[in-house]
Amino acid sequence: MRRLPPVLLEDGCSRELLSLIRTILAACKEISFRVGQGALSGVLGSTLDENIQGETQKKLDVLSNQLLKDILLESGTVKAIASEEEDYTVAGNPDAKFIVAFDPLDGSSNTDINSLVGTIFSIMEAPAGSDAADQSIFMQPGHKQVAAGYVLYGPSTMLALTTGKGTRMFTLDKTQGSFLLTQDFAEIPADTNEFAINTSNQRHWQPAMQNYINDLLAGDTGPRAKNFNMRWIAAMVGDVHRVLSRGGLFTYPTDTKDPKKPNKLRLLYEANPMAMLVEQAGGIASTGTERIMDIQPDAIHQRVAVILGSKNEVETCLGYHK
């Protein structure tokens, strides 16, 4: 099986970008080890702190953030980082070319139940001549990403990665510490009978999503004339991995549960990298009204509605939004 560096170099990935990706993966291997140790590593449970978004931080959120932050800033390969667990961006090497936005441990409420979690990352180039401390260097639409990926800490540790030439899957061989290519080009089937949404929010959704989901639930007795199955892992990284592996529609739509927070998922380090992976595998990623990767961000922790996955099913869902 092939290791990651030669696969990426053959694709024309620069040594600089490869080095940055390998730096991220070095931190992820350490996170994988800690997550795998579970209760033995003494890092399950919550801290007494909240992040800037008002979410209680898990000990593993803080640890994963620190590992990624330290290794990235020490490597000299990044100009600045933005993280779910950092209030503001953090400046790195002023002469470096790349900036990285990441969710250090997505789905962290799953850590305490020994269920799926993962690290999501998005890599962009800093604008020429920009200041490393300037937050606005991250205000670029997702189609500017030069690479995106996630590392899923499941029964096996897997990397999904794109540098704009398809989406590939690698599996961490823990006996030697390398990510080995296990699926060359992921292709999301255009049709599906599986969807993922947190239905406990149903009464708060907008009419378009209410109508779409009602029609799925009506199964072969409804207008879709076929039965659908539902899955919800409560970690975007796990749900998107299933969609990349066997198709499906994943959505976290706009809702009115908390008027101050109509959307849940963050654009820069959740929606954008997942959108790039999904599009590179033949799927679609939209907010319901526009392509996720065309959104011009205006804040580091900006949130967006997300509907992504199998092309034909997402298009059907978007039809309800017209």
Annotated binding site: 84, 103, 105-109, 198, 264, 270
The minimum distance between CB 190 and ligand F6P, in angstroms, equals 23
Sign of CA dihedral 197, 201, 204, 210: positive
Q: Binding to ligand F6P by residue 106, rule CB under 6 A?
A: yes
Binding-site residue ranges for Mg(2+) = 84, 103, 105-106, 270
Judged by CB, which is closer to Mn ion: 273, or 309? 273
Judged by CB, which is closer to ligand F6P: 71, or 265? 265
Helix (H, G, I), strand (E, B) or coil at 278: helix
The whole-angstrom separation of Cα 202 and Cα 197 is: 9
The minimum distance between CB 150 and Mn ion, in angstroms, equals 10
**Alpha-carbon separation of residue 216 from 205, 209, 240 (angstroms):** 15, 11, 19
Q: Which residue has the tokens 């992976």?
A: 277
Backbone angles phi, psi at 175, to 5 degrees: -75, -25
The minimum distance between CB 65 and ligand F6P, in angstroms, equals 13
The minimum distance between CB 53 and Mn ion, in angstroms, equals 10
Q: Which does 264 bind (CB under 5 to 8 A by kind): Mn ion, ligand F6P, none?
A: ligand F6P
The minimum distance between CB 268 and ligand F6P, in angstroms, equals 12
Interface residue with ligand F6P, options 25, 169, 235, 278 (CB under 6 A): 235
Judged by CB, which is closer to Mn ion: 106, or 255? 106
- Residue 295's nearest CA partner among 149, 122, 130 is 122
Site string for ligand F6P, 181-210 (x = CB under 6 A): -----------------x------------
Residues that bind Mn ion (CB under 5 A): 103, 106
Within 265-284, which residues bind ligand F6P (CB under 6 A)? 265
Q: Which residue of the chain is nearest Mn ion when measured via CB?
A: 106
For residues 257 and 201, is the Cβ–Cβ distance under 8 A? yes
Judged by CB, which is closer to ligand F6P: 23, or 32? 32
Q: Which residue of the chain is nearest ligand F6P when measured via CB?
A: 236
Tell me which amino acid residue 194 is: E
Q: Which does 198 bind (CB under 5 to 8 A by kind): ligand F6P, Mn ion, none?
A: ligand F6P
Phi-psi region at 8: left, alpha or beta (left = phi > 0; alpha = psi -120 to 50) = alpha
- Residue 1's nearest CA partner among 118, 175, 142, 145 is 175
The whole-angstrom separation of Cα 154 and Cα 134 is: 36
Q: Which does 61 bind (CB under 5 to 8 A by kind): Mn ion, ligand F6P, none?
A: none
Q: Binding to ligand F6P by residue 264, rule CB under 6 A?
A: yes
Binding-site residue ranges for substrate = 106-109, 198, 264
Q: Binding to ligand F6P by residue 236, rule CB under 6 A?
A: yes
The minimum distance between CB 270 and Mn ion, in angstroms, equals 5
The minimum distance between CB 236 and Mn ion, in angstroms, equals 6
The whole-angstrom separation of Cα 248 and Cα 212 is: 15
Residue by residue, DSSP assigns 83-128 as ETT-SS-EE--TT--EEEEEEEEETGGGGGGT--EEEEEEEEEPPT
Residue by residue, DSSP assigns 209-273 as HHHHHHHHHTGGGSTT-S--EE---S-HHHHHHHHHHH--EEEE--BSSSTT-S--EEIIIIIHH
Give the residues lining the site for ligand F6P (CB under 6 A).
Answer: 106-107, 198, 234-236, 252, 264-265
